[in-house]
Amino acid sequence: MRLHMVRGMAAAMALSGLAGWASAHIGDIGLALVNGRLATGKVEEAGTPPLEFVSLGERVFGADFTLSGGEIYTDEPGFYGSSLSAGGANTIPASSSLNFRILGNLRAWDPTAGTFSAATPGERLRIEFFGGAASRLSPLDGSTVGGFSIPLGPTGGFDEHWDFFLDPAPGLTSPGAGIYLLSVDLELDNVSGSRSEPIWLVFNNGLSEAEHDEAIEYVEANIVPTPGAVGVLGLAGLFAARRRRR
């Protein structure tokens, strides 16, 4: 529910090969337009003073839930895009809105089997924005649920954070400890054909980081398809200074 506008100017644009593909990322989801389609990647830092850039190719993102106000909650991962880049390439157009779809039901990690299966019946992930004025629940089956639109600001640069809640099954006061998986895709309202490939969000609720890492590695090895055009091309990272979140 915060909009941190990007400030500064583009610093560089350098080819990154497939380096952004190798491991999942704990942190914001970087977005860029590549040939008119949204592509995702890690948000990383380099240089002095540090400049943040999007290293394209990542599609698996991790986050940790915390207990907040009696609910299991996180505002990570966020979504980041630069308003400026070298030559204006791959930037998000000004006054865009980011739309999303939830692709199927919430799944839970089974550490004994070493795989994901359906979450406890009735457990759902809730995505909110505008203080809950906009809200969507993950479906209870494999269907696709349309999300809502998030305005990204007048410059095309943004640092947005949705609110994610893990809702317990009916009749329970809280969900159990576990690692949960949800897939979404993203689209800009003002760029036809911009829908991204699916991305996967791996949330940890109270298990160890080792277990979280194991689940993330499983998603990357067994669920994410072979890298598409973005990974093969090894497109450049997008560098831009931005104000740090507090």
Q: In this predicted structure, what is the pLDDT of residue 229?
A: 44
Determine contact, residues 162/75, Cβ cutoff 8 Å: yes
3-state secondary structure 62-94: EEECEEECCEEEECCCCEEECCCCHHHCCCCCC
pTM, to two decimals: 0.82
CA 25 to chain centre: 9
Q: In this predicted structure, what is the pLDDT of residue 239?
A: 41
Q: In this predicted structure, what is the pLDDT of residue 70?
A: 92
Q: Per residue of the chain (246 residues), give pLDDT as tens.
A: 333 323 222 333 322 333 333 344 467 999 988 889 999 998 888 888 877 778 889 999 999 999 999 999 999 999 998 654 434 456 788 888 999 999 999 999 999 999 999 999 999 999 999 888 999 999 999 999 999 999 887 877 788 999 999 999 999 999 989 999 999 999 999 999 999 999 999 999 999 999 999 999 999 999 999 765 444 433 444 444 443 343
One-letter amino acid at 53 equals F
Q: In this predicted structure, what is the pLDDT of residue 195?
A: 97
CA dihedral (231, 35, 80, 216) positive or negative: negative
6: which 2 tokens? 């990007």
For residue 221, the SS3 value is helix
